């Protein structure tokens, strides 16, 4: 078996055997002693065991999504106290709709951040993609769906080009993508011409898919509950499949009671969210597509060989190379993915505004996308994170934006607060990494 196969089939720490045998001393004649996996002892102790394990992880710096979830609760509580319309169905529906465009860009950035790198071009790439779509459809009469696909492919190609310069030529990612930020923005301005705006027909792909009046199953109430039920069923099936697989392999697995509690908590959250959105206008297509993308990409990162390779390269380039991983290939594909998701985000923006404009992908789009990934829990130092951080981070950012709008506060306040939250997230990440190293887990 090759080294690459060994890495691709390597399991996480949880996949270690539930019981190991060690010698009690240096005496080779000493009888071996069985050591039971501590996770099994935790589960045998019931709630007390889980609480002990939770506190151990917190002290060891393994915070996960805890800081951002607590922060989100605090933000919602403050804005609800200031304005009782904040947690209304209509306002929460607006938050869920407007977070999707920048959230899509943030998904691609998560891949880049997992390598410990940065992509400064995603805002310009998203604007260029929406502009190319508008030019092809409006000026050249191209089929809207063909134009949509070509715009996304262009984003992938641009990202791959950035990755090639980084991986093969050795130009720092910061410099390559900074050049891309300037160059692709200039191309977008040239394509838009003197008018600076191209209006997109209302029956075009992005407007139909991503417009504010486009809802899953045409505003049918059953649509939101159908999605919630599907999420619960898929999670239940996935958990029991994993339990069966781990049982067969003879490694620690989640007991059925724990699975049911986890899925029950998800069911409550999902159906409450569905009920709230139904009290407004329903579930927007943008949100549905964004969540579907999160599920697919999460599967790729956590359950495929390629996903393990991304984490391996982010955790240590030399170790990944020695394990037989093609580091240049991983780098190029990661930047291609970032460019592709930037283009998809550009299509979302085009659907929201029904136009391609000079401001497309500009302003604070890049900064908010990076902030979303980092605030959500993806480490700037590489090797640690999840695509769900794009959702959590955007929930925080969009909640701040919407809450300040309700309070009629200036955009400058939004920037300052978002900047403070971003700094806090990075500080927590840095302290967490230091704590993990001190606990011998870094």
> What global pTM score does this model have?
0.82
- What pLDDT score was predicted for residue 215? 62
pLDDT tens per residue across span 157-216: 999 999 999 999 999 999 999 999 999 999 999 998 877 788 887 766 666 666 665 666
Q: Above pLDDT 90, what percent of the chain?
A: 26
Are the C-beta atoms of 22 and 35 separated by less than 8 Å? yes
| More confident: 129 or 282 | 129
| More confident: 95 or 32 | 95
Are the C-beta atoms of 87 and 313 separated by less than 8 Å? no
| CA–CA distances in Å: residue 364 to residues 17, 59, 122, 277, 367 | 48, 35, 11, 28, 5
pLDDT tens per residue across span 167-179: 999 999 999 999 9
pLDDT over 90 at 44, yes or no? no
- What pLDDT score was predicted for residue 355? 81
pLDDT over 50 at 1, yes or no? no
In this structure, is the dihedral angle defined by the CA atoms of residues 134, 136, 139 and 144, taken in order, positive or negative? Answer: negative
Mean pLDDT of 268-295: 86
- What pLDDT score was predicted for residue 285? 82
Look over the chain and give the mean of its residue pLDDT values, rounded to a whole number. 80
Assign residue 218 a region: left if phi > 0, alpha if psi is -120 to 50, beta otherwise?
left
In this structure, is the dihedral angle defined by the CA atoms of residues 7, 111, 53 and 265, taken in order, positive or negative? Answer: negative
Where b means 16+ CB within 10 Å and e means fewer, 353-369 reads bbbbbeebbbeebbbbb
Q: How far apart are CA 5 and CA 22, in angstroms?
A: 28
- What pLDDT score was predicted for residue 150? 94
Reported as a pLDDT band with limits 50, 70 and 90, residue 340 is very high
Cite the beta strand spans of 241-370 per DSSP E: 355-357
- What secondary structure letter does DSSP report for 284? B
Which one, of 422, 354, 425, lies nearest residue 130 by Cα?
Answer: 354
pLDDT over 70 at 23, yes or no? no
């Amino acid at each position: 078996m090759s080294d690459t196969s060994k890495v691709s089939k390597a399991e996480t720490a949880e996949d270690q055997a539930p019981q190991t045998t060690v010698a009690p001393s240096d005496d080779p004649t000493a009888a071996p002693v069985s050591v039971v996996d501590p996770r099994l002892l935790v589960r045998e102790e019931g709630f007390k065991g889980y609480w002990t394990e939770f506190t151990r992880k917190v002290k060891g710096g393994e915070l996960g999504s805890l800081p951002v979830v607590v922060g989100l609760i605090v933000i919602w509580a403050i804005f609800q106290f200031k304005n009782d319309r904040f947690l209304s169905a209509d306002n929460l529906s607006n938050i869920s709709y407007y977070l999707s465009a920048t959230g899509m860009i943030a998904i691609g950035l998560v891949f880049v951040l997992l390598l410990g790198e940065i992509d400064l071009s995603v805002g310009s790439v998203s604007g260029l993609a929406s502009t190319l779509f508008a030019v092809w459809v409006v000026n050249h009469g191209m089929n809207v769906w063909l134009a949509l696909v070509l715009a996304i492919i262009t984003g992938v190609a641009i990202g791959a080009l950035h990755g090639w310069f980084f991986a093969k030529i050795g130009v720092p990612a910061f410099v390559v993508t900074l050049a891309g930020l300037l160059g692709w923005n200039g191309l977008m301005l040239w394509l838009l011409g003197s008018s600076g705006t191209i209006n997109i027909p209302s029956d075009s792909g992005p407007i139909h898919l991503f417009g504010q009046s486009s809802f899953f199953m045409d505003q049918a109430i059953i649509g939101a509950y159908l999605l919630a039920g599907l999420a619960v069923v898929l999670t239940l099936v996935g958990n029991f499949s994993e339990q069966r697989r781990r049982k067969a392999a003879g490694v620690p697995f989640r007991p059925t009671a724990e699975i049911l509690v986890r899925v029950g908590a998800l069911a409550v959250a999902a159906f409450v969210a569905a009920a709230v959105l139904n009290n407004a206008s329903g579930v927007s297509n943008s949100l549905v597509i964004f969540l579907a993308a999160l599920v697919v990409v999460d599967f790729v990162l956590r359950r495929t060989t390629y996903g393990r390779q991304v984490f391996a390269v982010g955790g240590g380039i030399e170790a990944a190379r020695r394990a037989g991983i093609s580091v240049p290939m991983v780098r190029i594909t990661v930047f291609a993915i970032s460019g592709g998701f930037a283009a998809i985000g550009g299509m979302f923006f085009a659907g929201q505004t029904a136009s391609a404009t000079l401001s497309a992908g500009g302003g604070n789009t890049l900064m908010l996308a990076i902030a979303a990934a980092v605030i959500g829990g993806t480490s700037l130092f590489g090797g640690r994170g999840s695509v769900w951080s794009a959702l959590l981070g955007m929930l925080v950012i969009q909640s701040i934006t919407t809450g300040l709008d309700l309070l009629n506060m200036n955009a400058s306040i939004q920037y300052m607060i978002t900047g403070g939250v971003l700094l806090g997230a990075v500080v927590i990440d840095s302290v967490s990494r230091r704590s993990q190293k001190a606990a011998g887990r870094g």
